[in-house]
Structure formats: structure tokens, C-alpha cells
Amino acid sequence: MAEGRVYDLFVIGGGINGCGIARDAAGRGYSVALAEMNDFASGTSSGSTKLIHGGLRYLEHYEFRLVREALMEREVLWAMAPHVIWPLRFVLPYQKGGVRPAWLIRLGLFLYDHLGGRKLLPATKTIDLRRDEAGKPLKPLFGRAFEYSDGWVDDARIVVLNARDAQIRGATILSRHKVTSARRDGDAWAVTVAHTLSGETQTIRARMLVNAAGPWVDQVLAGAMGRNNAHNVRLVQGSHIVVRKKFDHARAYFFQNPDNRIFFAIPYEGEFTLIGTTDRDYTGDPKAIRISDEEVNYLCNAASEYFAEPVRPADIVWSYSAVRPLYDDGASKAQEATRDYVLKLDETEGAPLLNVFGGKLTTYRRLAEHALEKIGGAIGTRGASWTAGSRLPGGDFAVLGFEAEVKRLLSHSPFITRVHAERLVRCYGTDAGVMLGKAETAADLGYHFGGSLYEAEVRWLIDKEWAVTAEDVLWRRTKQGLFLTAAQAAGLEDYMTGARHAA
């Protein structure tokens, strides 16, 4: 980092919004620095239900603008990252006398099919659960269902891919750097960051500051900036459980609860089913978020109302929880609070500040575009919007070309299994072959940590994707934590510790 350099933008926060804004800005020619106090996507952005979706239930709250924007983004994002995003069909079982009448569901799905410029995703249809395999794992009282399209995303990976692409385009990306102070100094911001491992500090100057700290956006305003009246964010806890797979087909389920809340059951990592989410207000420290016994029981009981084989707490192999930093619009219930984003520009005291509130994975690219409009108005426009036709690292293959990419990798590295190849293409796309390099045998990939995780992949994650701990590798960059024993995970942690000390 050049001494005395003044960046155009300093972005606080390495979640999907911060990384998306940094990437868009760097691609337009702005000089950008971004600091994330922990690992990328270690907060809200890796704790989602992992969907690229319009938000069918948001239609009930008349959020038509948000739903339309999200629906239009599904295929844009799919084309941008066909390795970490793919289409998914959702089965919505219908029960007469249920929470929502059939006509209302049909109306919602009609709008869903026609609001958002759908081209490749198939349309809604009605299915007979007594004849369709989607009915097999369900209780026999469900005879009919609606089936519609949305998308699945590896949430943590799309965040780090945005960070990588921002860096490739010239941005300075600082992981594990906490902003301890941000103050206006003349016509620029002076931002002091402290490395969370070494404790070393540095001060970086920038013409404009973007506060995209997610759940910590108010804490940044109150702590680093000394504004004690910051109360803009409503924290809503969402928790998920993962169990051994409940069904063999590749579709997901959209379930409705009698309390008007909805939840999903989604095929996960080949051998599991992901069930979630919950919605409840949260007032604690976002770093301390954990699934509660109440939420575990809620999800198990709710899923057991649909599946013929009950879901019990003892079946859970993993769970995760995160807080959504929703803009506080005064909604009475957590599930009714707006999922839309709000961008607030502050130019009252000199160097401009943009605060980012709310948002969701599906609309992060559009949020970034809208942020760049405000940034351009504040410090001057550079370049036109460009991300709609772009590709994220590893995503430079045909949107329907996943199978061809797997075959190409198996041809390049015939010693790996098909399941391993599919996972690598899902994680890294065309970079998978680059990562495996000239290896001719599994032994050439180095130490085998367990599952399908080898040293060559771990080195890639350290060198290219800022991975520092075993948790970064096992639960964010990959989901191999589901397949490693505790002893194997400890072995990886020892390796990561050694790599840190050798760096």
C-alpha cells in the first residue's frame, strides 16, 4: 500500500454488499480499499438459506419492487457464476384449509412467473404428489403441490469470488483488519485499521467512505465514528439445521407453517438436507449468535408436520445461525420487516459517507449499482455499469455447461472421482483445473486431510482466497466440515497455524 496514497473509496465490510460494491467500483476505474474485520462472509452472508430467489412470500407484504428486481436478477447472476449458482425447482405442497388458499398461491406464482423476465427457468406447474416422487417422503395427506423455479447459491463462495475479482481489478483487499477509527480529515477520510492477528495498525486515506458492515453498521457509526445516536438496523435471527438427506430427488420443498411463517427443505452437499429458516428479533452481539433450543424444536416440529419420517434434534449433524441486518421500518413482526435495502448518503460534514442498510444476496449486484450511482454523484462518475454481462472468477463457461465442465475436469485429472470433480467445479468452475495443475495422481495433490480435501486445494485457498483458519476452509470456502472427523479438522487447523507462522 503506497505511502500517502489517497483512495477514491474505502469500504468497510467483507460481506456480499461490501465485496459487491468494491468489485463494481474497481471495475469502473475507482481506486478502492476494503477492510473486513474477520473472514469474508463470516457473518450474515454465509448464514443465509442459500437461495437466489424473488422472495415469493414478499408479495404478501406488497414488496413488488423488491420482488421484481430479485426475479430479474436470478438469471443475470446465474450467467455470471454458473459454478456457484444453479437452478432449483421448489415443491410447495397444498393442503385444503391451509394457511393460504389455492387461488392466492396461484396468483402469487403467476406474478412470480411473469414479473421478472424469466427466459431459461421453467414455469410453474401443478403436480400430483400421489404419483410424483416428490410425494414419497411426505405424509399422505398432501395430495397436490405447486412446483416453481428459483435458484441455489453457495453464499460464502460468491462473496469471496467478488472479493477476488475486486482484487484482480486493482482493489486493495484487507481481511482480518478491523476499523478502529474513521474521521473526516479535510476533504478525505482518515481510516485506522488494526490487523486482528498481529495487532499492527495503519491509517488509510480515502475521498469517500462506504459503511457496508452489515449487522455492525450501527456499531461502526457509534464506535469508529463516535455517533451514539445510530439506530438504523433491526437484527433478525435466522437459524438452519442440516440432517441426513430426507429424499433422493433433486428438488427442494417450500413449506408453510400455521403461524404464517415459511421454511425450506433443500438438497445439500449430496448427502444432506438443509432445513430453515427461523425469523425472530435478536438483541445480542452478532458475533455470539447461536441457534437456540427453541429454534431447533421449532424447525424439527415444523418439518415433522410434512415429512412422514419425523425430524428429531438427534438427527442434526450441523446447524448455523446468523443475523439479518434489516432496515428498521417499524414492522411489528420480524418476518414482516422489509428485506429491501436502503442507501443513505451523508455529505453534511465534508468527505462523503454512504451507509448501506439491509439487502439480500439476490439483489446485491443491483444494490452495488445503486451505490455506485450515489458514489458517482458524490465524488464524480467513472465508467458505466458493467457487471450485468460479467463473469466471476471460474464462471467463464456456458450457463448450462456444468456437465461439460465436469467432463473436462475428469479428462484433465482422471485420477479423481466424479463426485470430487463435481464438488471442485461447483466451488471453482474453470479454476478447478488450474488448481489441480499438473498432478497425475492423488498423491501429487499433497496431504489428504479427509473427505475430498487435499493440500493442493488448501494451498489455493490460502494463496488466492484469504483462508487463515480451518473454519474458513471447512465451513465457508468448502463444506468439507460435514465430511471430516474432529481429529481430521484438528489436523487441518494445525496445518493452517503452521502456514500462518511460515508466511
Residue 209 lies in a domain: yes
Contact between residue 12 and residue 35 where contact means Cβ atoms under 8 Å apart: yes
pLDDT at 397: 98
Span 351-372, pLDDT tens digits:
999 999 998 999 999 999 999 9
The 3 state secondary structure assigned to 435-484 is HHCCCCCHHHHCCEEECCEEHHHHHHHHHHHCCCCHHHHHHHHCCHHHCC
Q: What is the CATH number of the domain that holds 285?
A: 3.30.9.10
Grid coordinates given for 20: 459487491
Question: To 5 degrees, how large is the angle CA 254–CA 258–CA 262?
Answer: 30
| Furthest C-alpha separation in the chain | 71
Residue 15 lies in a domain: yes
Nearest to 463 by CA among 160, 259, 207, 250: 160
CA–CA dist 199, 194 (Å, integer): 6
- Got the DSSP string for 333-401? SGGGS---EEEEEE-TTSS-EEEEEE--GGGHHHHHHHHHHHHHHHH---S---GGG---TT--S-TT-
The reply to whether 410 and 269 lie within a common domain is no
| Three-state secondary-structure class, residue 55 | coil
The reply to whether 442 and 376 lie within a common domain is no
pLDDT at 335: 64
Q: How deeply is 250 buried, as exposed, middle or buried, from its count of CB atoms within 10 A (0-12, 13-18, 19+)?
A: exposed
User: Which phi and psi (to 5°) does residue 383 adopt?
Assistant: 70, 160
Q: What is the CATH number of the domain that holds 353?
A: 3.50.50.60
What range defines the domain where residue 303 resides?
88-150+234-326
Where residue 412 falls (left for φ over 0; alpha for ψ -120 to 50; beta otherwise) is: alpha
pLDDT at 3: 59
Residue 464 lies in a domain: yes
Span 57-71, pLDDT tens digits:
777 766 788 888 989
Q: How many domains does the chain have?
A: 3
pLDDT at 101: 80
Contacts of 293 (CB under 8 A, 6+ apart): none
Q: At what angle do helices 486-502 and 455-465 cross, to 10 degrees?
A: 50
pLDDT at 33: 98
Domain boundary among 283, 302, 326: 326
Q: What is the CATH number of the domain that holds 496?
A: 1.10.8.870
The reply to whether 183 and 250 lie within a common domain is no
User: Which phi and psi (to 5°) does residue 485 adopt?
Assistant: -75, 170
The reply to whether 351 and 295 lie within a common domain is no
pLDDT at 252: 98
CA–CA dist 499, 359 (Å, integer): 36
The reply to whether 238 and 318 lie within a common domain is yes
pLDDT at 2: 54
pLDDT at 63: 79
The reply to whether 116 and 205 lie within a common domain is no
pLDDT at 1: 59
- Residue stretches of the chain with pLDDT short of 70: 1-3, 61-62, 97, 228-230, 331-339
The reply to whether 419 and 444 lie within a common domain is yes
The reply to whether 138 and 161 lie within a common domain is no
